């Protein structure tokens, strides 16, 4: 017997019996793979600087351990508590996003103010803001009085999205902004928003983007990245250096790869930001097309499980939560890998579970925890 949210479960309905083991397995494989990729990307440079070559991968393992704890925690209590506290969570998100902009509290690099420095760890609130927004949107969507969202609903929901979006966008963090917009759009779609409203939102989005360009909110380096993406040939070599090196790395992997720890681009440190945003290049170069497709397959399985959970959930809140998390994973994966192999412009989005970085890892783990939770308690 198990008391959750004031409900008594019959034995066969005990949540633990309905844990999605396959999702857990895929997550575990991704985490392990991440350690190998990060080790390959970092050991040479660390060794050269006379540091422990395992420094980075050890830190990532610690984070991953914390992530596993978070998965378990997030799966334990009934996810419907989240609906109850959605307002608080949302408020917390907005407040931290504001606090990170306070000069002495938040840290910045290259003009972007994005994270808190806490005891050697960087906490990036925008990573968690995505999750907070998913919870808030799921709660709002599931509480709508009409089966179809009215224009008032749409405006209210847009307001909910716009507040954190603006805070993230002006950090500036265009990558996360894209993810937030995609999450919102996807959740609106699944919640049954009419085609007309969706179209109107798309138009408004385009107008806002145009305005951002006009008002100079977009920084020069961001413009450069977009130019480099659109007109690669005429881009100065230093601007497209990342793109070129990443492509050479992935491309030189061939069908079967150069072999683990034998990638030339990887071992000689030719790919900037390789252990964070460009971690996929390690898989591409050292394991080749076969390895790259293996990574894609892991993500495909992850997304299949996520969307399946959204399907299976009898509770709209659960469905929307799972949808939001699924979109978060899908968009991050697509934009990140797409950028590495040159079909998307460069935006600083980490690859879930694989990129080095604490906040991204923890946020992804929380996402998996939520998915597991919805799956376990899908029967109402």
Partner 1 sequence: MERSGSRLKILAFVVAFMFVALSTRLWFLQVLAGPQHDRDARDNSLRTVATDALRGDILDRDGRRLVHNRISLEVRIKRDELGDEAEATLAHLSEILGVPAQELGEELDTKLYYSYQPVPVAEFVPEQVYFKVREEPEKFQGVEVVEQSVRSYPQGPLAAHLVGWVGQINAQEIDDPLFAGYGPSDLVGKAGIEATYERWLRGEPGEERFLVNSDGEVLREFDPRPAEPGHDLRLSLDLNVQRIVEDELVTGLQRARTVFDASTGRNLAANAGAVVVLDPNTGGIVAMASWPTFRPSWFVKGLSPEQDHYLNASKAAPSLSRATQITYAPGSAFKPFVALAALKEGRATMGGYYDCPAEYVHPGDESGTIFHNWDGVGAGSLSIAQGLKVSCDTQYYKWGSDFYFLDAQTNRQELQRRVKQWGFGQPSDVDLPAEAAGTVPDRKYVTEHRARYPDGWIPGIDILLAIGSGEMKATPLQVAQAYAALASGKLCRPHLVSRIEDGAGRVAKKIGGRCRRVPYTEAELNYIREALRSVTTGGTASSVFASCSLDVAGKTGTAERPPFQDTSWFAGIVPAERPEYVVVATVEQGGFGAETAAPIVRNIMSRIYRAPCEGPALGEAED
The binding site for partner 1 (CB under 8 A) comprises 44, 147, 186, 189-192, 245, 247-255, 264-265, 268-270, 272, 284-285, 288-289, 292-293, 296, 299-300, 303, 307, 310-311, 316, 319, 323, 326-327, 330, 333-334, 337-338, 341-343
SS (H, E, C) 47-58: HHCCCCCCHHHH
192 versus 236: smaller Cβ distance to partner 1:
192
- Closer of 330 and 363 to partner 1 (Cβ): 330
Q: Which is nearer to partner 1, 28 or 296 (CB)?
A: 296
Shortest reach from residue 377's CB to partner 1, in Å: 16
Tell me how far, at minimum, the Cβ of 269 lies from partner 1, in Å.
5
Closer by beta carbon to partner 1, 114 or else 377: 377
Q: How far is the CB of 217 from partner 1 (least distance, A)?
A: 28
For residue 66, the minimal CB distance to partner 1 (Å) is: 28
**What burial class does residue 354 get, using C-beta atoms within 10 Å of its C-beta: 0-12 exposed, 13-18 middle, 19+ buried?**
buried
Work out how close the CB of 216 gets to partner 1 at its nearest, in angstroms, rounded to a whole number: 32
Question: Angle, to 10 degrees, between the axis of helix 174-190 and the axis of helix 195-214?
Answer: 170
Under DSSP, the state recorded for 218 is S
- According to DSSP H, which parts of the chain are helical? 21-48, 55-76, 80-84, 86-99, 125-142, 151-169, 174-190, 195-214, 220-230, 241-252, 264-267, 280-312, 316-340, 358-376
Q: By C-beta, is 172 or 324 nearer to partner 1?
A: 324
Provide the β-strand partners of residue 121. 118
Query: Which of residues 122 and 273 has its CB atom nearest to partner 1 in the complex?
Result: 273
Minimal distance, residue 44 CB to partner 1, in Å: 8
Backbone phi and psi for residue 361, each to the nearest 5 degrees, phi listed first: -60, -50
Smallest gap, in angstroms, from Cβ of residue 296 to partner 1?
6
Q: Minimum distance from CB of 107 to partner 1 (Å)?
A: 26
Residue 202 has which token pair? 């798309």
Cα angle 245, 112, 284; round to 5? 25
Nearer to partner 1, 252 or 355 (CB): 252
Measured distance CA(372)–CA(16) in Å, rounded? 10
Instruction: Report residue 295 CA to chain centroid gap.
Output: 16
Which residue, 97 or 184, has its beta carbon nearer to partner 1? 184
**Cis geometry, peptide bond prior to residue 172 (ω within 30 degrees of 0):** yes
d(CA 348, CA 379): 39
Tracing tokens 């779609």 back to the chain, one arrives at 189
Q: How near is the Cβ of 101 to partner 1 at its closest, in Å?
A: 33
Whether 169 contacts 177, CB under 8 Å:
yes
* Cβ closest to partner 1, residue 193 vs residue 376: 193
């Amino acid at each position: 017997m198990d008391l959750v949210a004031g409900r008594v479960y019959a034995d066969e309905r005990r949540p633990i019996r309905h844990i999605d083991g396959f999702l857990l397995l895929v997550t575990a494989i991704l985490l392990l793979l991440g350690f190998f990729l990060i080790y390959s990307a970092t050991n040479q440079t660390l060794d050269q600087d006379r540091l422990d070559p395992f420094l980075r991968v050890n830190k990532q393992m610690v984070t991953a351990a914390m992530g596993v704890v978070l998965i378990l925690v997030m799966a334990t209590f009934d996810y419907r508590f989240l609906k109850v506290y959605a307002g608080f969570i949302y408020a917390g998100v907005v407040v931290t996003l504001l606090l990170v902009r306070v000069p002495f509290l938040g840290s910045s690099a290259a003009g972007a103010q994005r994270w808190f420095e806490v005891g050697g760890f960087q906490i990036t609130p925008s990573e968690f803001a995505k999750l907070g927004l998913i919870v808030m949107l799921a709660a709002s969507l599931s509480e709508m009085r009409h089966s179809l969202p009215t224009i008032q609903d749409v405006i209210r929901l847009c307001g909910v999205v716009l507040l954190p979006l603006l805070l993230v966008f002006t950090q500036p963090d265009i990558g996360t902004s894209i993810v937030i917009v995609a999450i919102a759009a996807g959740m609106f779609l699944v919640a049954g928003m009419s085609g007309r409203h969706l179209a109107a939102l798309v138009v408004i989005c385009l107008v806002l983007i145009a305005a951002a360009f006009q008002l100079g909110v977009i920084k020069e380096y961001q413009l450069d990245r977009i130019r480099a993406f659109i007109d690669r040939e005429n881009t100065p070599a230093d601007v497209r250096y990342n793109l070129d090196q990443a492509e050479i790395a992935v491309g030189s992997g061939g069908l079967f790869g150069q072999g683990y720890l034998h990638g030339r681009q990887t071992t000689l440190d030719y790919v900037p930001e390789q252990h964070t945003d460009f971690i996929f290049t390690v898989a591409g170069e050292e394991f080749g097309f076969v390895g790259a497709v293996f990574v894609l397959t892991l993500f495909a399985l992850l997304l299949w499980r996520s969307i399946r959970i959204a399907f299976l959930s009898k509770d709209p809140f659960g469905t929307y939560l799972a949808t939001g998390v699924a979109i978060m994973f899908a968009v991050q994966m697509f934009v990140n890998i797409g950028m590495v192999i040159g079909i998307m412009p460069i935006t600083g989005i980490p690859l879930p579970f694989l990129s080095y970085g604490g906040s991204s890892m923890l946020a992804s783990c929380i996402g998996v925890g939520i998915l597991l939770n919805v799956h376990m308690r899908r029967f109402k």
